[in-house]
Amino acid sequence: MRKYLLNILIFFFCAWILGEIIIRVFHLVPDIPKRIIEPEMGLQIYEPGQSGYYTMAEEKWKVNQHGWVGVANSGKKAQISVIGDSYIENLMNPLRCHQGYLLENLLKDYSVFEAGRSGVTFIEALQISKLLDPKINPKYHLIYVNEGDFKESIAGIRRYKDRVQIDLEQKRILQAELKSPVAKQILYSNKFLYYLYLRFPLFVSDQDKNKVVINKTDNKKFHQALIDLFEFCEDEFDTNRIILVFHPNTDPNIQSLAKNAGFNTISLYKSEEDNWSISSEDPHWSCYGHQQAAEQIASEFPKLQEDI
């Protein structure tokens, strides 16, 4: 019996080592950069100078001096910042599939700076736009959002200590904490374990924050919270320079409130047959999805310029 158990342990150990080697050689999961808290506004950024691989790509990402990965170009007549969560961070696709890369090829008169990080809420994206203003002096901010980004911004709905939120009663921004940084580094360093974490829903309760649920009885409360949120934004941010890019199927009521608060908006759309996702397990956009989104934005952008 002891020999049998020993053989099983040896088998699993060898399988683990083999899986680790295969995943590292073929970059089946992305390398994840280490986060830090920047001192100016208390936002989570990446430690500058790091590098690693995108998923299944030979090219490396690098964290720039401002603490972000992805496209970080400047020098043309005008600058656009592209801000968002993991859809913009986009470590699961090569650089040629990033919004910044695609938009620079479609909007020739602009250079693009990407500032994306998983877990970014709507209110944090606005804070990031403030952080970037004196650093790169963008003419416009493109902020990509879905319904979950608004719900997760409001502490009164649910408090997330690892995300920037707003206390609407006190009209106060609540800064985020680095959540279990040591545990995360262990997970990200063990590629086979991280692969299982990403691949199987069994290992994670909810990877898609579009699935944040509001009970019917809370709909009125949520709607009022949205009104208060946008009133706060109208007072605190230069909404005229911010273009909110809404993911497909975002609640029209949220989009209407955003417009009334002075935000410029672009509503992405896709048919039910048009699949933008990487896979059934991963709702993030594939290269095809990013291309479709960028083309729609480039088509709408000149019209918005006339109104700004």
User: Nearest Cα to 307, choosing from 267, 269, 268, 259?
Assistant: 259
pTM of this prediction?
A: 0.88
Residues near 244 by Cβ (< 8 Å), separated by ≥ 6? 143, 145, 255, 258, 263, 264, 265, 266
Helix ranges (H only) for 146-251 are 147-151, 181-189, 191-199, 219-236
**pLDDT tens digits along 162-178:** 999 999 999 999 999 98
Give pLDDT, residue 208: 46
Low pLDDT (below 70) residues in the chain: 25-26, 76-77, 180-188, 201-217, 306-308
Pick the CATH number of 59-182+208-307 from 3.40.50.1110, 3.30.479.10, 3.40.50.720, 3.60.10.10: 3.40.50.1110
Pull the structure tokens for residue 180. 């279990």
Give pLDDT, residue 190: 76
**Rounded CA separation 282/253 (Å):** 27
Render 51-83 in DSSP notation, one character per residue.
Answer: EEEPTT-SSEEE--TTS--S-B---SSEEEEEE
Give pLDDT, residue 34: 93
Domain ranges of the chain: 59-182+208-307
H helix or E strand, kind and range, residue 136: helix 122-136
Give pLDDT, residue 10: 79
**Rounded CA separation 167/144 (Å):** 22
